[in-house]
Amino acid sequence: MSFLLNIDVPDVTAATTFYTEAFGLTVGRRFGTDFVELKGWPAPVYLLAKQAGTVGAGGDRRRYERHWTPVHIDIVVDDVDAAVERALRAGAILEVAASDAPYGRIAMLADPFGHGFCLLAFSERGYDALLEPDDA
């Protein structure tokens, strides 16, 4: 099994610029003007042009102002602060500044299309730091 990420955006060109500049992804294939494959993460990313107001899953209408979703991307990086700066230069919106947690360092952001994501650098123990001693 494997997985891939599909990200609906209103403008594939703008989204391609954002994701390549913010995260160093590269364009793999272009499927016409409204569908682009990005490479560089463990799973391929597909940017799909879907205009605001069109109907998506469950009958919901797409909107690109900041929205909540129960599924988001955690992007694991070596240096959260440097990654935040790079993402901000590319057009991301900082929602929660980088802070330390037992499992590492994390910042919460949104892309220019309303999709939330976290930048995360794990500590040496990572999520194991959250386990009770008897669970380790």
pLDDT tens digits for 75-130? Answer: 999 999 999 999 999 999 999 999 999 999 999 999 999 999 999 999 999 999 99
133 with 80, same domain: the answer is yes
Count: domains in the chain: 2
With 80 as the cut, is the pLDDT of residue 136 above it?
no
On whether residue 66 sits in a domain, the answer given is no
DSSP H stretches of helix in the chain: 12-23, 80-90
Q: Are residues 78 and 136 in the same domain?
A: yes
Phi, psi of 128 (to 5 degrees): -60, -25
CATH of the domain at 17: 3.10.180.10
Residue that the structure tokens 């309303």 belong to: 114
Tokens of 127: 């999520």
pLDDT the model gives residue 24: 97
Entry pTM = 0.89
Q: Look at residue 135 in the predicted model and tell me its pLDDT.
A: 57
Structural domain span for residue 40: 1-53
pLDDT in tens, 32-68: 999 999 999 999 999 999 999 999 888 888 999 998 8
The answer to whether residue 38 is domain-embedded is yes
In-domain check, residue 126: yes
* Token duo for residue 52: 């605001």
* Same domain? 33 vs 82: no
pLDDT at 96: 97
